[in-house]
Structure 1
Amino acid sequence: MPHPLLLRRLRAVHATPDATEVSLEVDALRGVQLGIMPGWLTGEPPLEQGIETQMPNLPTLELPDADVTPYTLRVSAPTPSVLRLTVAPAGHPVLEDDGTGMGIVVDPAPDATALAVEEVEGEVVVSTGEARLRVGRAPFSLAVEDATGRPVLRSAHRLRQVAGLMTAPTVVADDAGLTLNLEIAPGEDVLGFGEQFGRLAKQGQRLVLRSEDACGTGTGLAYKPVPVWHSSVGYSAFVNTGAVLTADVGHERPSVLGLTVADEVLDLYLVVGGTPKERLTEYTALTGRGEVPPLWAFGYWMGRCRYHDRPEMLEVADTMRRHEVPLDVLHLDPDWLVVDRLNCDFIWNETRFGDRRAFVEALAERGVRLSVWELPYLDPVSPRFAEAEEKGYLVRHTDGTLAGIRKTPTPDGRMRALVDFTNPEARAWWQEMHEPFLADGVAVFKTDFGEALPDDVALFDGTPPQYAHNLYPLVYNRTVSDVIGRATGRAPLVWGRSGWAGSHRYPGQWGGDAESTVAGMQATVRGGLSYAVSAPGLWSHDIGGFFGPELTPGLYVRWTQLGAFSPLMRAHGLRPREPWAFGDEALDAARHWVRLRYAMLPTLWQVAHESLAHGWPVLRPLGLEFPDDPVAQSVDDVFMVGSDLLVVPVFDDGTAPVRRRFYVPAGTWRELDGEGSFTGPGFHEVEVRLDEMPVLVRAGAVLPRVEVGPDVRSTDDLVDRPWTLHAYGDVAEGPRRFVGFDGSPVELGLDGAVRHG
């Protein structure tokens, strides 16, 4: 682009005959900056720009030419409360796209709504009845109101520096891409943007949304960024793109949310009004929802990088039984491959693990299922590399040369090629290699990596290079999820590290390679909460962290407690994560919390069904359940599981009792299994021993549980066991309806319920 352009004047308005789409012609003018002070100038008369011409030290202003470049703002309403705003150069192909072109939106118009258009002096008003867009004529500006007429969003065009120069024009197009500047209202909290490991409320942060091999949770990078955010003022938003998006949330300019898409177009969906949960329902109506995986997925998973052979893994399963710790899944990292260093070619290592079906059956005899690692890269020394290259299954650069992974180092210096999942034949080839594993009883695949696609690639389906990198994790996980569903006939489950918008359709995901420190645990919780409001569904983490200083027994227990109330529960790391590896005290505590997890599975099962049916996360920040509580919006050291459970992780790596201060929202809250009671809103402080973690229940809740003793080996032992209702505080009488473990409805009365308080 020869020079920056600022969208400045609304010139004309056109509506389709059925009023489902409105196109607004906008004049873009050249913009310049003085260089000696912040602010923008165009070729418009100074007074029209708001310049303070009486400033005594105003420098001489050389205005640029006022030549016009035509742009278009297209407005539609996929539902009554969702406005789609597409900004692009006039005639750009995106203006004809129904929204599904990126593969993120799956239903472009769940409830397409006609638009009412009113042209008045100074602005054009486009309305659905539930959402209203006001477009300023000159200067071009945007403002959005909810059904009551309350403003929820406004472009930052009003903001100036001392000489009156614009500091945040509504839309700027330059070499960086297209930037939309929004005004941050007083007291407004902004949350989201995917799995970000910093503070939940993003004020003051500058986030670059590009899926990266983050090498931990403390590097400032993200495995699963998502261009979705929520404002406490009353809207949620989604940029439908694969391009890198930079979100400056009051970092450079304190009152500006600047959104820069590394593209020449902006495809923005605004969900207006309602609660955050209702807005997530609207968002997932557009982008799809996942399915509830089988019950065993909610049991305890155990892994290590690495188990080296069959006897070692069987011994782990047997030792879990000897210590009477329930276990449902054992995970096998890359040692199952013959060529296993950043390579996956599905050639099973019989030397280490023997016959695959026999190995799966040996685990099954112990009540355990097998999870298997994979990544989408191929080593040139693999016997399958030549076949993949010859058939055109590998990603190539725009110059036709074979592409190799970037930023993720290889142990031998050789390149690693990437499978091109946009090629239907390559996708089928990859899926076919999964089928024998699934036929032998492999339960789940850990879809590791996927963040290393180079920028200058020519994918088979023609996906433009600027979109390819961030969309690659989406098509990778979709490929594996689809074959699992097709081959097993059940709800599929992957365990994915990389992600982008839409990845929530393919549960589950985990928080990547956290450090085995208190800081790593804290970052993990923050990442999960941030991901929850951006990609709602099933998310988890590696209990104990993946790498770093030697994991202490105290931190292992504290992380296990966190895992017991996470959507999925898996222990994994570079070194042993089995509970007996940390001493008898840690073993006793871990056993208790794993058993409590199994006892609470009837409740977790209800939350999972409710969440995935409505497009909500299982693990939720307080603000999602208490949107009118200004304190709850930014709390990121506790979380909700569903609507009734408040979990207070203990961030400590010692074994001595510690004091824990935490926030409780409005209402009365009772201890899950104790006698304590807490009233909110307000902060409370308690002392917790190593074997304790505060778990509170909202008064009035009724939670189903199942009895778990030493005889429970896995979820298979729970399927036919009766449930007991636990009632907290004063509860309404009458039967309660639940979803049974077999998916059928269950009705239980309160007779015989365990009463708490």
Structure 2
Amino acid sequence: MSHRTGSSDTVILRHVKTGSSDGGQLDLSVTALPAVQLDPMPGWLTGETLKEQGVEVSMPNLPSSIRLPRLSPSPWRLRVVAHGPRTARIVLAPEGHRVFTQPPTWLGIVAEGASTPSSVSEGDREFRLDGDEFSVSVDRSPFTLKITDREGRTVLRTAERLRQVAGFPMAPPALLEAGRATLNLELAASEDILGFGEQFGRLVKNGQKLHLRSEDALGTGTGMAYKPVPVWHSTAGYAGFLNTGAAVTADVGHHRPSVLSLSLDDDALDLFVFVSPDPAQRLADYTALTGPSRVPPPWAFGYWMGRCRYHSSTEMLDVARTMNAHAIPCDVLHLDPDWLVVDRLNTDFIWNEQRFGRRKDFVARLAAEGKRLSVWELPYVDPASPIYADLEERGFFVKKDDGATAHLGGTPTPDGRPRALIDFSNPEARAWWKEQHRAFLDDGVAVFKTDFGEGFPAEGVLAEDTPPTHHHNLYPLRYNSATSEAIAEITGRAPLVWGRSGWAGSHRYPGQWGGDAESTVAGMQATLRGGLSYGMGAPGFWSHDIGGFFGPELTDGLYVRWTQFGAFSPLMRAHGLRPREPWAFGPEALKIARMWIRRRYELLPYLWQSAVESVREGLPMMRPLHLAFPDDPVAVGIDSEFMLGRDLLVVPVFDDSSGPATRTFYVPAGEWTDFFTGARYTSGHHTRTFPLDTMPVLVREGAAIPTVRVPETARNTDEILDQPWVVHRFGRRDEPLPPFLGFDGVIANAGTIEIVDHDA
């Protein structure tokens, strides 16, 4: 039999040699042994006897020539600490690894790293740490790891039990191969896995193999991801978070049907496990560890309009005036790279006065039409820029090992020019970048679209003192945080960016959008899946390009259906390579799109309550049904509809025709009422046909939905914030209204709110 190994240093962790259970934590010495992977028969072996490894030596088809590797142990270390009543931190790495001397916050992902008291014990067969609501058990020999909840139920266990017919282990609990650490976990019979960031495939990840590396995904159907996050949820009752910037491969029962295999481009595993049967509680605990998002200003929840590209101030002012003429409220107009003198993949902050005039005057003219300005940027500088040489001389660019300037990787450049990247880990470069925003903000620019950021090259090295394997995925986090902090520090208000790239912790810097979706039904469907998946590990404010960014000519019907979906997303922006203004799609589409945009403005008080709740509770505004109904076995796999906040069930219609469309959808437990038609629904699957101007938006029985009156002449949120509120009550006539938070942060006076009762 042949043997296949990744390198000569492949080892499997086999035995806990010694350990300390003092100080409320487990600190154990683990022996790792050289190992080989068999070929073609699946399985792993160390140099121990076959009996010691549990191989069934009586099998008649046992290979006759098995060459065992040498027995030369190497020392590893395992540390287990409690980080809250439901949270365990498990660090596993070679003895002497730097991770053991660093606080959990060292990579900038974890925001709060304090451990909490726990009890530890040592027995003949195992070591054990008991937190308030979980226990971690580590078997001495062979090495295994198991986590149970407070009821004694196993929620996570390593995969040592999984073997092929001759008894060869197929998924050793932990191993190191070619410098990559791997943790193999056993998937229970009915266990589903969700998460891993903005993934555009099915919400339940079982059967998928995902490569978590921030990429310019070039769409939503390429298999790549702009914002992967090494966070996942298991229906067995836990969530996991790998505290790393290294690329991670998550094989969720793809290669081995009952194994969740997690491999990363690093030799250390730093794993946080959040134990709770409630995914919302697990997500809240993760958010408490990594830091909350912030509520954007009220105007951010209005309608945004963009195009790639508007070429002049005249063109953008015409769009603003046409919006007003059609009575379509709109808060933000977005300007892509044409504002730069050296545009394309370059940001040097040199404003193009030839196209847009003086920036302050242009912003003022937009404001006179009731619109704010969003400005595009990216963290790359082109050598054609007049400031390139100065920035390079000052050491502000990402470098290579030899000190030379590193060049943009991954993202194609049309002319092949070797663009450089700002090093945000260099304090002077970061300060320079932040300061460049001051004049824009002083002139009234409202928000920056932090585009790209996924192009950190393989040979790139940051100035900060972290291992290079972490740099690629940490770069989007550093980039978005720098711009977000600049806005907060210069304006004193809640910052807002519109980011494409991301990693764990990116939710702290709202908001994000789903990248360059194709203008097809498949693109719309993938976009929603990406947003729902992202929300499971990045609980903040996510959105998408209404109509998709590129592709076949967008149909009138799909534009309307996507606008309906966008009107009930956390943030709402239309954007694409070609026009996305409602009047570009004919009079019927204009009429229907205007109706749904105005409906969004009417729901601003509800959106505001949901946004505040999202930040307070560490939950996304757009929620998979599984977050709201964790005990519903059907809800876990639903990724074609979502909850917006606590009480609205939104059912997008995926269709590109202008006629009625038939939609089958699922309604969770309870009684539900369509907010706009009054149609009643009970739990179960329903099939209905919806004309182009309708989309199911269902309200949970017992809910109170605050709305605001929107005058026909209202141009933006500023012009409706002081309008009367109307609360729609559904089946709670005898109950007092809950307290509602006004846009000024003060509890709204229920005595001045009109109430409309919707009878059951």
State the TM-score bracket (shorter-chain normalisation). over 0.9
Of residues 69, 73, 82, the one that matches 1:77 is: 82
**Aligned letter for 1:756?**
H
Contact kept in structure 2, 1:338 and 1:347, CA below 8 Å:
yes
Contact kept in structure 1, 2:56 and 2:166, CA below 8 Å:
yes
Contact kept in structure 1, 2:662 and 2:690, CA below 8 Å:
yes
Contact kept in structure 1, 2:704 and 2:737, CA below 8 Å:
no
* Aligned residue in 2 for 1:738: 740
CA shift, 1:736, in A, is: 2.1
Q: Spell out, residue by residue over 1:530-571, the C-alpha distance to the aligned partner (whole angstroms, 9 max, x if none).
A: 000110110000000000000000000000000000000000
Contact kept in structure 2, 1:33 and 1:40, CA below 8 Å:
yes
Contact kept in structure 1, 2:710 and 2:723, CA below 8 Å:
no
**Aligned letter for 2:98?**
P
CA shift, 1:393, in A, is: 0.2
Classify 1:751/1:718 alpha carbon distance in 2 versus 1 (closer, same or farther; 3 Å): closer
**Aligned letter for 2:11?**
L
Contact kept in structure 2, 1:216 and 1:512, CA below 8 Å:
yes
For 1:627 and 1:735, how far apart are their aligned partners in 2?
A: 27
* Aligned residue in 1 for 2:665: 662
DSSP 3-state at the match of 2:449: strand
* Aligned residue in 2 for 1:43: 47
Q: Spell out, residue by residue over 1:646-686, the C-alpha distance to the aligned partner (whole angstroms, 9 max, x if none).
A: 00000000011011100111111111122211111x10111
**Aligned letter for 2:698?**
L
DSSP 3-state at the match of 1:549: coil
Identity %: 60
Matching of residues 392-541 of structure 1 within 5 Å: 392-541=395-544
* Aligned residue in 1 for 2:146: 143
DSSP 3-state at the match of 1:738: coil
Contact kept in structure 2, 1:40 and 1:165, CA below 8 Å:
yes
Of residues 322, 327, 338, the one that matches 2:325 is: 322
Of residues 370, 376, 398, the one that matches 1:373 is: 376
CA shift, 1:72, in A, is: 0.5
Instruction: Please say if 1:261 is aligned against 2:261.
Output: no
For 1:283 and 1:732, how far apart are their aligned partners in 2?
A: 38
Contact kept in structure 2, 1:561 and 1:693, CA below 8 Å:
yes
Runs of 5+ unmatched residues, structure 2? 1-6
Of residues 30, 33, 55, the one that matches 1:26 is: 30
Contact kept in structure 2, 1:735 and 1:750, CA below 8 Å:
no
CA shift, 1:573, in A, is: 0.2
For 2:671 and 2:388, how far apart are their aligned partners in 1?
A: 61
DSSP 3-state at the match of 2:486: helix
Q: Which moved more, 1:62-71 or 1:532-541?
A: 62-71
Instruction: Please say if 1:7 is aligned against 2:13.
Output: yes
* Aligned residue in 2 for 1:224: 227
Q: Spell out, residue by residue over 1:454-494, the C-alpha distance to the aligned partner (whole angstroms, 9 max, x if none).
A: 12222111332111000000000000000000111100000
Contact kept in structure 2, 1:629 and 1:665, CA below 8 Å:
yes
DSSP 3-state at the match of 1:348: coil
DSSP 3-state at the match of 2:740: strand
Matching of residues 160-239 of structure 1 within 5 Å: 160-175=163-178, 177-239=180-242
Instruction: Please say if 1:649 is aligned against 2:655.
Output: no
Of residues 721, 725, 728, the one that matches 1:723 is: 725
Q: Which moved more, 1:670-679 or 1:416-425?
A: 670-679
Contact kept in structure 1, 2:21 and 2:122, CA below 8 Å:
no
For 2:373 and 2:37, how far apart are their aligned partners in 1?
A: 60
Q: Spell out, residue by residue over 1:544-603, the C-alpha distance to the aligned partner (whole angstroms, 9 max, x if none).
A: 000000000000000000000000000000000000000000000000000000000100
For 1:468 and 1:382, how far apart are their aligned partners in 2?
A: 26
Contact kept in structure 2, 1:337 and 1:349, CA below 8 Å:
yes
For 2:756 and 2:676, how far apart are their aligned partners in 1?
A: 10
Q: Spell out, residue by residue over 1:325-357, the C-alpha distance to the aligned partner (whole angstroms, 9 max, x if none).
A: 000000000000000010000000000000100
TM-score computed with the length of structure 2 as normaliser: 0.98
For 2:381 and 2:36, how far apart are their aligned partners in 1?
A: 48
* Aligned residue in 2 for 1:54: 58
Q: Spell out, residue by residue over 1:58-100, the C-alpha distance to the aligned partner (whole angstroms, 9 max, x if none).
A: 0132222222111011111111210000000011110121111
Contact kept in structure 1, 2:293 and 2:615, CA below 8 Å:
yes
For 2:188 and 2:608, how far apart are their aligned partners in 1?
A: 39
DSSP 3-state at the match of 1:27: strand
* Aligned residue in 1 for 2:4: none
**Aligned letter for 2:239?**
S
Instruction: Please say if 1:634 is aligned against 2:637.
Output: yes
TM-score computed with the length of structure 1 as normaliser: 0.98
For 2:754 and 2:467, how far apart are their aligned partners in 1?
A: 62
Classify 1:737/1:154 alpha carbon distance in 2 versus 1 (closer, same or farther; 3 Å): same
* Aligned residue in 1 for 2:107: 102
For 1:99 and 1:730, how far apart are their aligned partners in 2?
A: 46
For 2:234 and 2:105, how far apart are their aligned partners in 1?
A: 25
CA shift, 1:749, in A, is: 5.4
For 1:686 and 1:68, how far apart are their aligned partners in 2?
A: 65
For 2:599 and 2:623, how far apart are their aligned partners in 1?
A: 20
For 1:188 and 1:211, how far apart are their aligned partners in 2?
A: 27
DSSP 3-state at the match of 2:319: helix
Contact kept in structure 2, 1:185 and 1:255, CA below 8 Å:
yes
Instruction: Please say if 1:552 is aligned against 2:551.
Output: no
Instruction: Please say if 1:697 is aligned against 2:702.
Output: no
DSSP 3-state at the match of 2:270: strand
Q: Which moved more, 1:7-16 or 1:185-194?
A: 7-16
DSSP 3-state at the match of 2:669: strand
CA shift, 1:360, in A, is: 0.4
Aligned length: 752
CA shift, 1:137, in A, is: 1.3
For 2:217 and 2:40, how far apart are their aligned partners in 1?
A: 37
* Aligned residue in 1 for 2:713: 711
Classify 1:353/1:505 alpha carbon distance in 2 versus 1 (closer, same or farther; 3 Å): same
Contact kept in structure 1, 2:249 and 2:263, CA below 8 Å:
yes
For 1:371 and 1:378, how far apart are their aligned partners in 2?
A: 20
For 1:756 and 1:497, how far apart are their aligned partners in 2?
A: 40
CA shift, 1:266, in A, is: 0.4
**Aligned letter for 1:642?**
G
CA shift, 1:703, in A, is: 0.7
* Aligned residue in 1 for 2:3: none
* Aligned residue in 1 for 2:613: 610
Q: Spell out, residue by residue over 1:283-323, the C-alpha distance to the aligned partner (whole angstroms, 9 max, x if none).
A: 01110011101100000000000000000000000000000
Of residues 591, 596, 605, the one that matches 2:594 is: 591
Contact kept in structure 2, 1:289 and 1:615, CA below 8 Å:
yes
DSSP 3-state at the match of 1:522: helix
Contact kept in structure 2, 1:299 and 1:715, CA below 8 Å:
yes
For 2:137 and 2:271, how far apart are their aligned partners in 1?
A: 15
For 1:507 and 1:13, how far apart are their aligned partners in 2?
A: 43
Contact kept in structure 1, 2:726 and 2:753, CA below 8 Å:
no
Instruction: Please say if 1:88 is aligned against 2:93.
Output: yes
Q: Which moved more, 1:521-530 or 1:140-149?
A: 140-149
Q: Which moved more, 1:524-533 or 1:729-738?
A: 729-738
**Aligned letter for 1:197?**
F
CA shift, 1:274, in A, is: 4.2
Runs of 5+ unmatched residues, structure 1? none
For 1:696 and 1:66, how far apart are their aligned partners in 2?
A: 64
For 2:127 and 2:572, how far apart are their aligned partners in 1?
A: 52
Of residues 337, 341, 365, the one that matches 2:340 is: 337
DSSP 3-state at the match of 2:627: helix
Contact kept in structure 1, 2:434 and 2:486, CA below 8 Å:
yes
CA shift, 1:710, in A, is: 1.6
**Aligned letter for 2:579?**
P
